[in-house]
Structure 1
Amino acid sequence: MKLVTAPSAVLSTPAEEVDPTDPAVVRLAEELIETMWASPGCVGLAAPQIGVSAQVFCVDVTGHPKAITTHGAFVLCNARIVEASRWRPGREGCMSVPDLTGDVKRAARIVVEGLRPGTGEPVTLETDAFEARALQHEIDHCAGKLFLDRVAGAHAIFPRKVYL
């Protein structure tokens, strides 16, 4: 799928809740996973990033050096953070903001509730560290927010480093 970049309006508008049993949502979930896995360094992708106003995202931090807890590859619909603690700053980047990174303070431990696409089964995930950061980043996308909306100011935004 083609990625949408800032300042596209779909990235700054809260996405619509979805029916996780709708076949179109199931296909969207598959497309998100395929696009994430096809994008080097990508650990999460939300529907607004491919131009779809839907509260659906995928995450997979498996094998990432900053990950402590990992739930493998998963997709959630209509997800909400229900507990958050141990706030820490950390550097974030985003495929929808390809030239910048920024320091963002996020909870290092969270509990998230959402629905599994296909079945609509309720899911509760408790996680920490890098996976928690990735989840918060994707939930923000579904709420119409970018990491740039969370930085402390211009002093916390940096040009993205390119490694050859």
Structure 2
Amino acid sequence: MTDAFDGPRPSGGVRVQGVPVASYPRRVPEAVRGEVRRITVVGEEVLHRPCREVTTFGTPGLSRLVDDMFATNEAAEGAGLAANQVGEDLRLFVWDITDDWGVRHVGHIANPVLDELPAGQRHLIDEAEGCLSVPGPYRTVPRPGLAVVRGTDKDGAPLVIEGRGYFARCLQHETDHLEGRLYLDRLARRERQSALREMAVSADAVHARRAARAAGLGRG
């Protein structure tokens, strides 16, 4: 998911893996360690089928993948990134996002499952949404303003992450990816075609900007 915030980020605290922390670096340690990978784009098969469960935890390979996903997300100026967006068929995503109230959320989750919300909490919010795998266009997508996702971290410890507003949108967007769905799949046919035409025009410029940013971060 692309980051909707431009300019300086507001200061409202930081939550890492859902837990408040006193301070946290602007560049997450995982992004410093990781390598930038190519981001898959709409039409590639890995984006359009459900991903496999993560079954082995605490491995160097899984830790490297998390590091690389954070580095790739940072270079692309994203809010969140799913494993199939770097070509890995695994139920895993990362996030680094500031919500509507100025709280920064950082973390990763494996095998996420969204809670079914009670009818009274399913208030839909219409907001523009973009995607790193659909470089360029944004379109309005209605989603609930609350999301609760359950899964584990890379070492297998249980996680429950709650998000509201823009962070809730991110959690839902990334979970969709792991089911083989993009935000385009939630659009009417004409709107989807319009977004794809816009992407065809803007994609080269977006990719060039990402490459320049990766090089500037020393990850190119």
The structural deviation recorded for 1:100 is 2.5
1:72 maps onto 2:102 in alignment: no
The structural deviation recorded for 1:83 is 3.6
- TM-score when normalising by structure 1: 0.86
1:103 maps onto 2:140 in alignment: yes
The structural deviation recorded for 1:70 is 4.0
Q: CA RMSD in A?
A: 2.2
The structural deviation recorded for 1:132 is 0.5
The structural deviation recorded for 1:7 is 0.5
- TM-score when normalising by structure 2: 0.65
1:11 maps onto 2:36 in alignment: no
Q: Summarize the alignment of residues 55-134 of structure 1 with structure 2, pairs less than 5 Å apart.
A: 55-62=91-98, 67-68=100-101, 70=103, 72-84=105-117, 85-117=122-154, 119-134=155-170
- The size of the alignment, in residue pairs, is 158
For 1:27, the aligned partner's letter is: R
The structural deviation recorded for 1:110 is 1.2
Structure 2: segments with no counterpart, 5+ residues: 1-36, 206-220
The structural deviation recorded for 1:116 is 0.7
RCO (CA 8 Å, sep 6+): is it higher in 1 or 2?
A: 1
User: Larger % of helix: which?
Assistant: 2
Greater displacement, 121-130 / 98-107: 98-107
1:89-126 CA deviation, whole Å, 9 max, x = no partner? 21111111113222211110111101111x21111112
For 1:88 and 1:102, the matched residues in 2 are separated by: 13
Checking the alignment, whether the CA contact within 8 Å between 2:148 and 2:162 is kept in structure 1 is: yes
- Name the SS of the counterpart of 2:125 in structure 1: strand
Structure 1 runs (4+) deviating above 4 angstroms are: none
Q: Which residue of 2 aligns with 1:154?
A: 190
User: Larger % of strand: which?
Assistant: 1
The structural deviation recorded for 1:154 is 2.1
Q: Which residue of 2 aligns with 1:46?
A: 82
Identity of aligned residues (%): 31
Greater displacement, 148-157 / 138-147: 148-157
Match of 1:33 among 70, 74, 87: 70
